[in-house]
A and B are shown apart, each in its own frame.
Chain A
C-alpha cells in the first residue's frame, strides 16, 4: 500500500522540543539523586549500625537467657592487648576481672604476675543504655511541657482571643521563635535555667529548653487542628446551653486531638534529635549512675543525663578516632533512628485510632 506522506501531525525537531526533553531529564535526575542520597544515608547507618547492635547479643544464665550488651550496658573503655600470643579485646569491667583472675592464677601457681600491656580506647566498648534512657526522659518531659503550654496557648489564640494588636503580636513572636537556631535556644537555656535559676546541667533545664524550641511547631499545628473542627460543633453545643469551656472540652478538643498529635510527632523527632539545645543544659558526656539512682525524688529533676545525639557527637568528635570508634558511632545512630521511628510509629497508631473514633 502506498501512502503519500501528508501526516500533518508528524513531530518536527526544534529547539523547543529538545528543551522539553532536557528539562524533563533534569527534574528526573534530581529526584533520583535525592533518592540515592536517602538510601546512602539510611543504608550506611543501618548496614554499619546493625552489625554493632545485632553482634551484641549474648546468652545469659538467667531469664530471659539472652541479652544485648550494646542496648543494656553503659559505655566503657575498650582494652586491646595480647595474651598468650592471642589478641584480645575487652571492655573495662571484663578486662579488670580477667587481669585479676590471671594474676591470681599465676600467683597460685607460683609464677610471677603476668604483665598486661593494653591499649585503651575510650567509650569504644559496652553499650548505650544510659543514653537511651536519657533521650527517652528528655523527650517525654519536654513534650509534656510543650503540649501543655502549646495546646493551652493554641486554645486561647483560636477560641478565646479576639483578633487585634495583641494577638498579632503573639503570632509574630511565635513566628520569630520558630526561626531561632537551636544553638541559640541552647545558649538561652544555659543562661536562663542553668545559671540564673541555678538548676545546673539538669533534666529540668533540658526539658524547658527543648520545650521552648518545639513550642512554635506545637502551637501552630494545634491552632490549625482546632480551626479544622467545624464551626457547627461549637454553635450546636453553645446553642444547647453549654459554656465555652464545656464546648471546647467535650466538642472541640477531642476532634482536634489527632491533628495535635500529628504535630507532636514532628516535635518528638526534633526534640529527640537536637544536640545543640541540650549540650549546655542537660547532657553529660558520661555518667555512671542511672537517672533513677537518686536519694531524693527532687534530685531526679536536677541531674544531667546522657543522650543519644550528644553521645554521637562525643564519640565522633571528642575522642581520638581509631578503628574501634565507628562501631559505637554507627551503633548509636542506628539505635537512635530506631527509637525515633518507634515513638513516631506509636504516635501515628494512636492518631489513627483517634481519627477512627472521631470522624465527621
Chain B
C-alpha cells in the first residue's frame, strides 16, 4: 500500500501489486444507455459501463455527481425513495435486466450486498449481526450458523479481534471494526457483488488501511464496486475506475490509465486535484 502523498495522485501513481489484470476478466454487470430520475430531476445521463467480474471498480467524482446514485441502482436501493424512476436503458447482471418485471428486488439484494457510508451494525450481538441475513432466510441450524459466523468474520479479518466476545453488542466495537462487521454481515449471505458506498469516509487512516487490505482479499471471491471521495483510495485499491461528473460518466477505464493517462481533460483536472 502506498502512503498518501500531498502531490497529485496522477504523479505518484504506482500500480498496486494486488491489481488484477484486465485479461481474462469477464463482464458481470452491463449498464446501457441508463437514465435515472429523482422525480422530475434527472440524476444520471446515458450511462454506459461494463463492470468486470472479480475485480474492484471504483466510482469517483465530486459530490452530487451521481456515483452513489448509480451504485444504489445496482441493488435497487433507490426503490425505497419516493419518485425515483428509470426512464431509459438497462442494468444487466449476468445478462438479466434487474429492473425487469420478473426480478424481485429482495432476491436481487441477496446476490448484491451493500456496505454503507456510515457503519450501521444493528444493536444486537456481533453473532446476531452476522446471522441476520441467514435468519431472515429461515436458516435455523445452530452448527451452520456458527460455521457461517466464523467464516464471515475470518473473511472480514475480524475473527481474531472478536472471537471471545461474539455475544456482546456490535455497537461496542470501534468504528473500523464496526465497518468490517458490516462487511462480514454482507458476505455471510454470500453475494456475488459487494457495493461499498464510501466505506472509509468515517474511519481513521489505520482503520481505512485495514478495510482496503480487506478489499484486496475479498476480490478473490467477490466483485466489488466502491464509491469513494478519496482518489488515493481509488488508486490504491481499484482495478478499474469510472469518473463521473454532473450525472454523466466522463471516463471509464483501467485505474492505471485513468490516473496516468486520462483522455478527458476534466478527468485530468479532477485526478490531479485541480477541482472537486
| A interface with B by C-beta (< 8 Å) | 162-163, 230, 232-243, 246, 250-251, 255, 358-360
Rounded to whole angstroms, the CA-CA distance of A232 and B189 in the bound complex is 18
Partner of B118, one of A162, A232, A358, A359: A232
How far apart sit A13 and B82, CA to CA, in the bound complex (Å)? 63
Given contacts A237-B136, A238-B80, 16 further A-B contacts (CB under 8 A): A233-B120, A235-B77, A235-B114, A236-B121, A237-B132, A239-B109, A240-B110, A240-B132, A240-B136, A240-B185, A241-B106, A241-B189, A242-B132, A242-B136, A251-B132, A360-B123
CA distance A235 to B116 in the complex (A): 9
Whether the pair B116, A240 counts as a contact (CB closer than 8 A) is no
Residues of B within 8 A of A163 (CB): 82
> Is residue B182 within 8 Å, beta carbon to beta carbon, of the partner chain?
yes
For A359, the chain B residues whose CB sits under 8 A away are 123, 169, 171
Q: Which residues of B contact A (CB under 8 A)?
A: 75, 77, 80, 82, 106-107, 109-110, 113-114, 116, 118, 120-123, 132-133, 135-137, 169, 171, 182, 185-186, 189
Docked pose: A346 CA to B185 CA in angstroms: 37
Given contacts A240-B109, A240-B186, A359-B171, contact A235 B136 (CB under 8 A): no
Minimal Cβ-Cβ distance residue in B for A230: B120
Residue of B nearest to A357 (CB): B123
Residues of A within 8 A of B82 (CB): 162-163
Whether the Cβ atoms of A255 and B182 lie closer than 8 Å is: no
CB within 8 Å for A240 and B123 given contacts A162-B82, A232-B118: no
Q: Which residues of A contact B132 (CB under 8 A)?
A: 237, 240, 242, 250-251
Measured in the bound complex, the distance between the Cα atoms of B75 and A238 in whole Å is: 10
CA–CA, A119 and B171, complex, Å: 71
Report if A241-B137 is in contact (Cβ < 8 Å); known contacts: A235-B77, A235-B80: yes
Q: Which 8 A-B residue pairings sit nearest by Cβ, starting from the closest? A: A232-B120, A241-B110, A240-B133, A239-B114, A360-B123, A236-B120, A241-B109, A242-B136
Q: A233-B122, A241-B109, A255-B123 are in contact. Are A360 and B116 (CB under 8 A)?
A: no
Contacts of A358 in B (CB 8 A): 123
With the chains together, A325 CA to B221 CA distance in Å?
A: 83
The answer to whether A241 and B123 have CB atoms under 8 Å apart is no
A86 to B113, CA, bound (A): 89
Q: Is there contact, CB below 8 Å, between B77 and A238?
A: yes
Chain A residues, CB < 8 A from B123: 255, 358-360
Select from chain A the residue with minimum beta-carbon distance to B110.
A241
A239 to B185 Cα, complex, angstroms:
10
Distance A239 CA – B120 CA, assembled complex (angstroms)? 11
Contact present for B80 and A241 (CB under 8 Å) = no
Decide yes or no: A243 and B106 within 8 Å by CB, A162-B82, A236-B116 being known contacts: yes
- A242 touching B122 by the CB < 8 A rule? no
A–B Cβ pairs within 8 angstroms, 23 of them: A163-B82, A232-B116, A233-B120, A233-B122, A235-B114, A235-B116, A236-B120, A236-B182, A236-B185, A238-B77, A239-B75, A239-B114, A240-B109, A240-B110, A240-B136, A240-B186, A241-B109, A241-B136, A250-B132, A251-B122, A358-B123, A359-B123, A360-B123
How far is A235 from B169 in the complex, measured between Cα atoms in Å? Answer: 19
Separation of A237 and B134 alpha carbons in the complex (Å): 11
B38 → A minimal CB distance (Å): 14
Question: Are B120 and A240 interface neighbours, CB within 8 A?
Answer: no
Complex: A305 Cα to B216 Cα, angstroms = 71
* Residues from chain B with Cβ under 8 Å of A240 in the complex: 109-110, 113, 132-133, 136, 185-186, 189
Q: How far is the CA of A329 from the CA of B38 in the complex (A)?
A: 64
Q: Please report the C-alpha to C-alpha distance between residue A81 and residue B114 in the assembled complex, in whole angstroms.
A: 85
Nearest-neighbor residue (CB-CB) of A162 within chain B: B82
B238: shortest Cβ distance to chain A, in Å? 21
| Alpha-carbon gap, A301 to B230, bound state (A) | 67
> Could you tell me the distance in whole angstroms from the C-beta of A332 to the nearest C-beta in chain B?
44
Chain B: minimal CB distance from A178 (Å): 27
Nearest Cβ in chain B — how far from A220, in angstroms? Answer: 22
User: How many angstroms from the CA of A241 to the CA of B106 in the assembled complex?
Assistant: 5
* CA distance in complex: A242, B133 (Å): 7
Contact A242 B75 (CB under 8 A): no
Chain B residues contacting A233 (CB-CB under 8 Å) are 120, 122
Select A239's contact among B113, B118, B121, beta carbons within 8 Å.
B113
Q: Please, how many angstroms separate the alpha-carbon atoms of A299 and B33 in the complex? A: 69
Return chain A residues, CB-CB under 8 Å to B77. 235, 238-239
Q: How far is it, in angstroms, between the C-alpha of A233 and the C-alpha of B170 when the chains are bound? A: 13
Which of A162, A233, A241 has the most C-beta atoms of chain B within 10 angstroms of its own C-beta?
Answer: A241
Q: Report the separation of the CA atoms of residues A234 and B77 in the bound assembly, to the nearest whole angstrom.
A: 11
Cα–Cα distance between A230 and B122 once the two chains are bound (Å): 10
- A239 cross-chain contacts in B, Cβ below 8 A: 75, 77, 109, 113-114, 116, 186
- B216 CB to closest chain A CB (Å) equals 22
Closest to B191 in A: A241
Q: What CA separation (Å) do A236 and B186 show in the bound complex? A: 9
Chain A: minimal CB distance from B247 (Å): 22
* Bound CA–CA A235/B76 (angstroms): 11
Cα-based distance from A240 to B187 in the complex (angstroms) = 9
Contacts of B113 in A (CB 8 A): 239-240
Closest to A163 in B: B82
